[in-house]
Amino acid sequence: MNNSIAAINVTIEKNYDSEFCGSIPLHLVNLIQPHGVVLVLDTTDLRILQVTENVDTFLGTSPENLLNQPLSAFVPEAEYLDMLSKLRHKSSQNRIPFTLSFGVQGQEVSFAALILPQPDYILVELEENNARPDDSFVRLYQHIKYITSLMKQAGNTPEIAQRTAEELKLFSGFDRVLVYQFDPKWNGIVVGQAKEEDMDDYMGLRFPASDVPKQARDLYFKNPYRLIPTRSYTPVRLTPVVNPVTQRFTDLTESNLRSVANVHLEYLANLNIMASMSLPIIIDNKLWGLISCHHKTAKYPSYEMRSAMELLSGILSAQLEAKQREENMALKVHLHSMHVKLMEQLYTTNFFADELLDGESNIQSLLSLSGAAVVYEGNIWKRGITPSDQEIKELTSWLRRNKNTGLFATATLPVDYPHSKDYKEVASGMIALPINAEHGDFMLGFRPEVNQTVNWGGNPDNAIQMEADGKTYHPRNSFAIYKETVKNTSLPWQHEEIEAAETLRIAVLEKLIKERY
């Protein structure tokens, strides 16, 4: 039995995904970070309905001079018509990157703009063009091609993650780059890291799900990245406060400039970093993980650099997806080969349990079991390390009452069926293939307890520290390694193993039906 498996698959019983943190409406904060400006436009004539109060810093005029004025009064006609054309030809509401020249009081300033069409209004983000000579298209393209080639050469998922972290650190100039993968309960584990020598080492550490709560995870499907150039900023408000069209706070879900919750800024301070940028890794339309970039001092990457990093996160997602499919296909081919041999044996023997348990190819080798049993017509046949006959009888009785609707697999049998704690060393993991569940006929596979140590980045039970008012909370202030020993668990069941087990179950049922009729 192969005990080597990625730490991401350790079964964590406790749920650290905070409902409280996940209920905060981050998209309705009505505040932005001050390194840009947001305009809210009417969808009919692109009249300016709202502006952020820092427009004087960027445009040299007050909000009052812009409100209720048409955008066409401030931008060159050619750019305005181009913008109208792009808005008119967008069949769906998407992000439109743009270069916009804004003229006020005889002065014209060029901005990197992002146009975000909404159902009732249009958001426009403006950031000053801060492109540097090093961020030329040719240079960025060359680096992207080089990093992509390194990803393709990697042999497995951990190697892809590590190479990405190392190269992205060199490419972007951030002090630390982490590749962070979510487990099934949304706790994250660092699977790739590149950092400056004087920074804390987080490689292999797990962080509780409350660090990236549900509503923050959902926003990564709307935003290609999240940038905080400095945590010591003063938020900027939209004026007027209420959107004149919706009579509500303006939804800033898709805004890159959207302000950050104070608790997250406190979290960055506890990490001893001033600036951060995170990018999603999305596989099969699910959030697989994040690229998390940290900097000890303030850092404001150019729009071109951020766009290149956005592209690289998409390439990384594609490479990880391809590698996982390759690994899954290899496992499927291996299991199918073993299944074919097992089927040949089953159809050349009089009694299915004999070859199922004792044949050259058997259920143990097919499903990586330490022991297996067949309970059929009141009899029990066993192979390998299994619970006693009486324990198996009680177990099948429990299965008949509680798990009789189909195949059942668990890596935490002592949690699901507390009576099994007496033999957890033998059967902390179980897979049950019903033959005739109503009569208590099952094929059973067992995996032993595998005590595993999980290294957390700080005590996960202290991830959120509430104040006496029950509303204000703070993140943990220590990320020192906290070791937790996970007990009463086996190695997890892979999806391909579950599929192979179901295929085997159907084949055995077909054999029994043919023999009977």
What structural domains and CATH numbers belong to the chain?
29-128 (3.30.450.20), 347-451+488-516 (3.30.450.270)
Helix axes 157-172, 137-153, angle to 10 degrees: 160
Give the model's pLDDT for residue 22: 44
Q: Helix (H, G, I), strand (E, B), or coil: what is residue 47?
A: strand
pLDDT at 281 over 90: yes
**Residues in contact with 302: Cβ distance below 8 Å, sequence separation at least 6, in sequence order:** 130, 131, 132, 135
List the end-to-end C-alpha distance of the chain, in Å, as a whole number: 38
Residue entry with tokens 């401030």: 74
% pLDDT > 70, the chain: 89
Section 110-122 average pLDDT: 92
Residue with the bigger pLDDT between 455 and 426: it is 426
Q: Give tens-digit pLDDT for 433-490.
A: 999 988 899 999 999 988 777 777 877 777 666 656 555 556 666 677 766 667 788 8
CB atoms within 10 A of CB 3: 10
Task: Give me the pLDDT at residue 20, please.
Answer: 47
Return the axis-axis angle of helices 303-346 and 157-172, rounded to nearest 10°. 180
434 burial via Cβ count (<10 Å: 0-12, 13-18, 19+): buried
Contacts of 301 (CB under 8 A, 6+ apart): 172, 173, 227, 277, 309
8-state DSSP, 149: H
pLDDT at res. 215: 84
147 in Cβ contact with 127 (< 8 Å): no
Angle, helices 303-346 vs 495-516, to 10°: value is 20
> What is the CB neighbour count within 10 angstroms for residue 464?
19
Average confidence (pLDDT) over 329-345 = 84
More confident residue, 14 or 330: 330
* The predicted structure's pLDDT at residue 336: 86
Of 123, 126, 130, the closest CA to residue 59 belongs to 126
What is the tens place of the pLDDT at every residue in 37-50?
999 999 999 999 99
pLDDT band at residue 351, thresholds of 50, 70 and 90? confident
The CA distance from 219 to 252, in Å, is: 10
Tell me which residue has tokens 């067992």: 446
3-state secondary structure 56-92: HHHHCCCHHHCCCCEHHHCCCHHHHHHHHHHHHCCCC
pLDDT in tens, 163-218: 999 999 999 999 999 999 998 888 889 999 999 999 999 998 888 888 888 888 98
Question: Which amino acid would we find at residue 110?
Answer: S
Strand pairing report for 275-283 and 122-128 = unpaired
Q: Which residue has the higher pLDDT, 71 or 24?
A: 71
Per-residue model confidence (pLDDT) at position 469: 59
Each residue's pLDDT tens digit, 150-159: 898 988 889 9
- Residue 513 pLDDT level (bands cut at 50, 70, 90): confident
Task: Tell me: pLDDT of 416 over 70.
Answer: yes
Helices 303-346, 137-153: axis angle to 10 degrees equals 20
HSE toward the beta carbon, residue 516, CA cutoff 13 A: 7
Helix H, strand E, coil C: the string for 200-216 is: CCCCCCEECHHHCCHHH
With the C-alpha atoms ordered 430, 434, 437, 443, is the resulting torsion angle positive or negative? negative
Q: Label residue 25 by pLDDT band (50, 70, 90).
A: low
pLDDT at 17 over 70: no
**What pLDDT band is residue 5 in, cutting at 50, 70 and 90?**
very low
Looking at residues 261-285, what average pLDDT do you find?
Answer: 92
The predicted pLDDT at position 297 comes to 97
Partners of 104 in beta bridges: 107
Q: Of 155-164, 239-248, 318-327, 446-455, which gets the smallest average pLDDT?
A: 446-455
Number of helices and strands in the chain (H, E):
14, 22
The reported pLDDT for the residue numbered 26 is: 52
Report pLDDT for 108.
83
**DSSP β-bridge partners for residue 281:** 289
Average pLDDT, the chain: 86
Helix H or strand E encompassing 364? helix 363-367
Q: What's the pLDDT at 21?
A: 46
The predicted pLDDT at position 37 comes to 96
- Strand 481-486 to 452-457 pairing: antiparallel
Task: Give the CA distances from residue 484 to residues 183, 186, 204, in Å, rounded to whole numbers and listed in that order.
Answer: 16, 17, 13
Q: Judging by beta carbons within 10 Å of its beta carbon (0-12, 13-18, 19+), is residue 149 exposed, middle or buried?
A: exposed
**Does residue 41 contact residue 49 with C-beta atoms inside 8 Å?**
yes
What average pLDDT score do residues 295-309 get? 94
Close Cβ partners of 248 (under 8 Å, ≥ 6 residues apart): 28, 242
Q: Given this model, what pLDDT does residue 15 score?
A: 65
Question: In terms of Cα–Cα distance, which of 497, 97, 495, 116 is closest to 284?
Answer: 495
User: 60 or 163: whose pLDDT is higher?
Assistant: 163
